Amino acid sequence: MTPRASEGAAGRKRLVDDFRAGGRPALARAISMVEGGRPGVGALLRELLLARPRACRLGVTGPPGAGKSSLIAALATLMRARGEEVAIVAVDPTSPFSGGALLGDRIRMNDLATDPGVFIRSMATRGSLGGLAATTREVIDLLDAFGFPNILVETVGVGQTELEIASTADSVAVVLVPESGDGIQAMKAGLMEIADLFVVNKSDRIGADRMVRAIRQALLLKTGHGGHDVPAHHGVDLSRVADGTGSPADTDTPAPPPQWNIPVLKTSAGRGEGIDEFLEHFRAHQHYLKASGVLEQRRQSRARRRIRDVVEGRMRRRAREFLGRHPDHSHWVAEVAAGRATAYGVAEAVIPAILRKDPESGT
């Protein structure tokens, strides 16, 4: 082993020990390593991520300015008031999460940001290779392995992002506002598919009830359920998911087969209204996930995607490095460009060499 490698191994061991001992700097460093995609991060993650997922993970998505950060801040404040620790991850935030007052005097982000029971991390997604799927997932898993019982993830819901967040969080809340327009319109971007809860925020404004009705209507069209299946207020029949607190003791009482009717909640993060209900329904959904076995299914499909992404990512990187360094690379390029060889022929020739040795596979 080269001196450098052993130094790296010693450094890694220190980092792993500090992380396991609950050191925040170690957590922050591990996250930076993941974000930076540094070599050796695979070896680090191999150790750090060997932990059974335990955290309640809530993804909060929706159009820009819907109040996602405000809601997350309000939820986090409520969780703190109940003595629970919470980690917040803001992906590609358009407005920075920390610093400044988000909602005037009601929720001061600075209070949250300086609270040792809260960990806030803003992160920017990178190119197509990393992106939300890979990096956020790892960061969330790190926060989970570190021991945060609650992880709240904010992403702006545009395009593919919403679907990807679904693979990182267990519960997904889609936040809309009264002005989000025609309910059906709002459903188009795939929001319908990923929402476990709908939240109509800024309900202090005109049109909130109409928005709630439009979403319920769209849900009815999608599920084909009659209106009686969707309770009038919050859309979930809590009696069917035990008491909704999600505590392990609940599982002692035999419950009927759990069902989940997507609730449509009204909140005003600005006035601090509806936040308790939001938290209650999030807990109820977590409880439902466990009781129904859906949590296990979601974890498995996450694991499946994960394996595929890590393997593909590594293969791709190896292939690029191999081609980039190969002395004949420009020759192949010229030959293929001139029509004297094909990319297929080159692939046939180089793939066996690429597969022969992957430096990262050895320990």
**Contacts to ligand GTP by CB under 6 A:** 64-70, 93-95, 103, 156, 201-202, 204-205, 268-270
By beta-carbon proximity to ligand GTP, the closer residue of 202 and 306 is 202
Residue 207: which of 218, 196, 215, 219 has the closest Cα?
Answer: 215
By beta-carbon proximity to ligand GTP, the closer residue of 70 and 286 is 70
Query: How far apart are CB 152 and ligand GTP at their closest, in Å?
Result: 12
Report the run of H or E that residue 103 belongs to, with start and end: none
Query: How far apart are CB 124 and ligand GTP at their closest, in Å?
Result: 13
How many alpha carbons lie under 13 Å from residue 218 in its C-beta half-sphere?
23
By beta-carbon proximity to ligand GTP, the closer residue of 68 and 240 is 68
Query: How far apart are CB 139 and ligand GTP at their closest, in Å?
Result: 18
What residue type is assigned to position 310 of the chain?
A: V
CA 121/CA 30 separation, integer angstroms: 12
By beta-carbon proximity to ligand GTP, the closer residue of 200 and 295 is 200
CA 93/CA 65 separation, integer angstroms: 10
Q: CA 140, 143, 146 angle in degrees (round to 5)?
A: 150
Binding site for Mg ion (CB under 5 A): 68-69
By beta-carbon proximity to ligand GTP, the closer residue of 69 and 136 is 69
What residue type is assigned to position 236 of the chain?
A: V
CA 90/CA 322 separation, integer angstroms: 35
Q: Which does 70 bind (CB under 5 to 8 A by kind): Mg ion, ligand GTP, none?
A: ligand GTP
Query: How far apart are CB 208 and Mg ion at their closest, in Å?
Result: 20
CB 198 within 8 A of CB 174: yes
Residues 6+ positions from 228 with CB-CB distance below 8 Å: none
Rounding to the nearest 10 degrees, give the CA dihedral for residues 349, 351, 355, 360: 120
Query: How far apart are CB 274 and ligand GTP at their closest, in Å?
Result: 9
CA 101/CA 108 separation, integer angstroms: 5
- How many CB atoms neighbour CB 42 within 10 A? 13
By beta-carbon proximity to ligand GTP, the closer residue of 183 and 270 is 270
Closest chain position to Mg ion (CB):
69
Query: How far apart are CB 323 and ligand GTP at their closest, in Å?
Result: 40
CB 162 within 8 A of CB 38: no
Query: How far apart are CB 275 and ligand GTP at their closest, in Å?
Result: 10
Q: Which does 263 bind (CB under 5 to 8 A by kind): Mg ion, ligand GTP, none?
A: none
Query: How far apart are CB 270 and ligand GTP at their closest, in Å?
Result: 3
Q: Which does 270 bind (CB under 5 to 8 A by kind): Mg ion, ligand GTP, none?
A: ligand GTP
CA 307/CA 305 separation, integer angstroms: 6
CA 146/CA 142 separation, integer angstroms: 6
CA 174/CA 280 separation, integer angstroms: 16
By beta-carbon proximity to ligand GTP, the closer residue of 146 and 198 is 198
Query: How far apart are CB 136 and Mg ion at their closest, in Å?
Result: 15
Q: Which does 47 bind (CB under 5 to 8 A by kind): Mg ion, ligand GTP, none?
A: none
The residues facing 53 across adjacent strands are none
By beta-carbon proximity to ligand GTP, the closer residue of 190 and 258 is 190
- How many CB atoms neighbour CB 224 within 10 A? 8
By beta-carbon proximity to Mg ion, the closer residue of 6 and 95 is 95
Q: Which does 201 bind (CB under 5 to 8 A by kind): Mg ion, ligand GTP, none?
A: ligand GTP
